[in-house]
Amino acid sequence: MTQPTRITALPRHRDAGRRLNVVAGGAGFIGSHLCRALLDRGEGVLCIDSLQTARPSNLAALTGHPGFSFVRHDITAPLPASVLAEVPRIHRVWNLACAASPPLYQMDPEHTMLTNVVGTNHLLRLAERAGARFLLTSTSEVYGDPEVHPQPEEYRGHVSCTGPRACYDEGKRAAESLVFDYGRAGRAQVRVARIFNTYGPNMDPGDGRVVSNLICQALRGEALTIYGDGTQTRSFCYVADLVAGLLALMEAEFDGMQPVNLGNAAEITVRELLDQVVALSGTQARVVHRPIPVDDPRRRRPDLDRAAQLLGWAPRVPLSEGLAQTWAWFAAELQGELKARPAQAAE
């Protein structure tokens, strides 16, 4: 009896069966796509997630795969014995664990900070013990409200360390510094990705990000919300591109002592994004303007030169295509909810 052939566009490693990836935050939006991609390559995945902000259905879609195992755990606490027992098999440690949407990460700012610093530290110690390579998903938020545009990795950022976003922004900056200290001391091979705005299937409809907000509002026939006047810009990367970038970064052969921006450099205003969602949905709902949150960045666009040079990677999916796929996913996801509602929603 042979195993059924797995159909995948990604290369399967010869020793894939022996490779175990620890993916902290693997039940989250990006994490769930990463777990899927690793499983599709024939590698093993041990997912650690507290499920505090993860969608249970992301996890459900992975559970049952023979290469997948799950430990419910909050990484601010020392790693449990069930994870430590896997040390001999652990080849890669990925840290994607942290609430990433401002309303969620600001609900418990102390926990957000500790997740980034103490959690990253626990995972770095695991990588050191296992001799595994470690990757931190940092964020474009380390640039704050940038005064340099687009943002290259050398830019030191413009972050308020006293405001309500600091628990996340400064937490990630602190996590980066820990990671590079491990790298500098030779305690682990390290990689740091600075992830810019990302969208796609598996986003949480309720986490308050602009793409999911607008699509869900359009699907529900609700008014479309814009914060401020909508002239602030973002650069949206489709999640499949982002995960390809993460995989390329983890496996790239360089010393790892530089962070690498991952995202999409096509910059649009939030207003233009809204127009695309309106065109896609045909919604005639009105637009409501809300006050712009404190320390909300005005502009964001990654400089992707380093990613191109070190990884040979660039995003491929245009916004129109990615939005259409995301729209279709949300439409299916919200189907039950929409069917149960009065006809007004279909207008």
Residues that bind a second copy (CB under 8 A): 109-110, 113-114, 117-118, 121, 142, 144, 156-164, 166-167, 170-171, 173-174, 176-178, 180-182, 184-185, 192, 257-259
Question: What whole-number distance in Å separates Cα of residue 56 and Cα of residue 27?
Answer: 7
Residues in a beta bridge with 47: 23, 70
- 1 vs 185, beta carbon nearer a second copy: 185
Residues 6+ apart with CB under 8 A from 107: 99
Residue 164 and residue 183: Cα distance in Å, rounded?
30
Contact 290, 165 (CB under 8 A): no
302: β partners: 151
Nearer to a second copy, 139 or 232 (CB): 139
Q: Which whole-number Å values give the CA distances from 274 to 105, 238, 263, 328, in the listed order? A: 25, 17, 20, 17
The first and second tokens of residue 245, run together, are 């970038």
Decide if 305 contacts 254 (C-beta within 8 A): no
**Beta carbon nearer to a second copy, 157 or 205:** 157
- Has 199 been annotated as catalytic? no
Report the alpha-carbon distance of residue 218 to residue 211 in Å, rounded: 11
Quote the least distance from Cβ 180 to a second copy, whole Å: 5
Least CB distance to a second copy at residue 320 (A)? 35
DSSP string, 1-62: -PPPPPP-SSPPPTTGGG-EEEEETTTSHHHHHHHHHHHHTT-EEEEEE--SSS-HHHHHTT
Helix/strand/coil percentages in the chain, nearest 5: 40, 20, 40
Active-site residue, selected from the candidate residues 105, 143, 155, 168: 168
Tell me whether residue 167 or residue 216 sits nearer to a second copy (CB atom): 167
**Closest approach of a second copy to the CB of residue 45, in Å:** 27
Q: Which two tokens stand for residue 18?
A: 């022996």
Least distance CB 210 / a second copy (angstroms): 24
Q: Are 115 and 178 in contact (CB under 8 A)?
A: no
Residue 135 beta carbon to a second copy: minimum distance, rounded to whole angstroms: 15
**Nearer Cβ to a second copy, position 166 or 216?**
166
Min CB(178)–a second copy separation in Å: 6
Nearer to a second copy, 33 or 194 (CB): 194
CB 167 within 8 A of CB 110: yes
Note whether 207 and 177 are within 8 A (CB): no
Would you name the residues annotated as active-site residues?
A: 168
